[in-house]
Chains A and B, each alone.
Chain A
């Protein structure tokens, strides 16, 4: 049975609940955005219900652990093809078993999810490091990122703790939304006019006057702390892959 959900995590959990309620095992779980009408499939469209989603999570937490619940959400953010089915299979196996299956790496579902979780963790770690802010005339620090996965929601904690007293906005150029932190509150934002968002450099009309100087200072600092004799590009690329160079000031946007 194919289930269609709204693309949100709570929607996915609602679909899982529906599958149990209707006693109809899912063979495909697909988001509305990715669904294509087909002649043969009779899909079930699921309404998102936060209460039911919470029930699924509660049951899962009792059978496994808070960590497993968190892992599933993180895997969902990976946006990987068919991750919904993996999550669904994990929940089914967890509910059926008497033990906590979370650590059974012999099971292909558990193993696949743990690997995705690892990838997400790495991407979050990179997002903490590869963010470069520019100051705008309004006093907002603005940064652009293009993460491989949708990790922005789970990356903001780090910045909230680090810059609690400032206003900042981190924008995901690939997914066209950002997280805006101001007055100690965080909210998701989108731009009405998306022509600016891909720019590495803010236009002069918007940026603060000292911004250019600070960028120069940063590039000079970077160059002066660099040790030419220790250059090891292969190792460097392992830590800072080329695809992240685009928004790093010190790389001058190469690559």
Chain B
């Protein structure tokens, strides 16, 4: 069966959220909450978290815990481990981070390295978000498709519940039951 009509973004975000909980130490409450009950379609859950909690950032890669470094958008598990291993030998600079494999395009708004770069720090979340989504072709394509989409998230009359029904799309749009 062809899957073209159902946007797979929702499924993609679900998987990303699951990954965060399993490998990045996120709790469910940190990914969705009463104030933000839905997964953002345009940004991945990790970036959403960072944009909603600007007070946790910027993270100093040379001093912070491994757990906090994991939360920087653009830093994956492997990069976080390499950062923690390599910084024993000397202060890490942005050039090192880039070579290690950190996605500096995203991470630069959220971290501090030994060479301080102030240009990308202290931004308002809306501005960071706009900057990152602008020029992102995939997002623009998706936004055009969404104009014809039916809303698919289950109603929230009963309030958010930890776990299941909150995040699953309505049955008719659920590709898993087609």
Question: Residues on A close to B: CB < 8 A?
Answer: 99, 101, 103-108, 111, 229
B contact face: mostly helix, strand, loop, or mixed: helix
Q: Nearest chain A CB to B113's CB is how many angstroms away?
A: 11
- Give B95's nearest chain A residue, CB to CB: A106
B85 touches A105 (CB 8 A): yes
| A103 with B85, Cβ < 8 A, contacts A229-B1, A229-B2 known | yes
Contact surface of B with A, Cβ cutoff 8 Å: 1-2, 82, 85-90, 92, 96, 99-100
Known: A111-B99, A111-B100. A105 touches B1 (CB 8 A): no
Give the shortest distance, in Å, between B78 (CB) and chain A (any CB).
10
Total number of A-B contacts with CB less than 8 angstroms?
30
Please tell me if the beta carbons of B1 and A106 are within 8 angstroms of each other in the complex: no
**Most chain-B Cβ atoms within 10 A of its Cβ — which of A103, A106, A107, A111?**
A106
User: Assuming the A-B contacts A99-B89, A101-B89, are A106 and B96 also in contact, with contact meaning beta carbons closer than 8 angstroms in the complex?
Assistant: yes
Q: For B96, what are the chain A residues with a Cβ–Cβ distance below 8 Å? A: 105-106
Q: Is the CB of B2 within 8 A of A105?
A: no
Nearest A residue (CB) for B1: A229
A85–B92 Cα distance when bound, in Å, is: 25
How many Å lie between the Cα of A101 and that of B89 in the bound state?
Answer: 8
CB distance from A98 to the nearest CB of B (A): 11
Contacting pair B99 A104 (CB below 8 A): no
* CB-defined contacts of B1 to chain A, threshold 8 Å: 229
- Cβ A104 vs Cβ B89 within 8 A: yes
Do A107 and B2 touch across chains, with their CB atoms under 8 A apart?
no
Chain B residue, CB-CB nearest to A108: B99
Query: Do A103 and B2 contact each other (CB < 8 Å), given the known contacts A111-B99, A111-B100?
Result: no
A residues in contact with B2, CB < 8 Å = 229
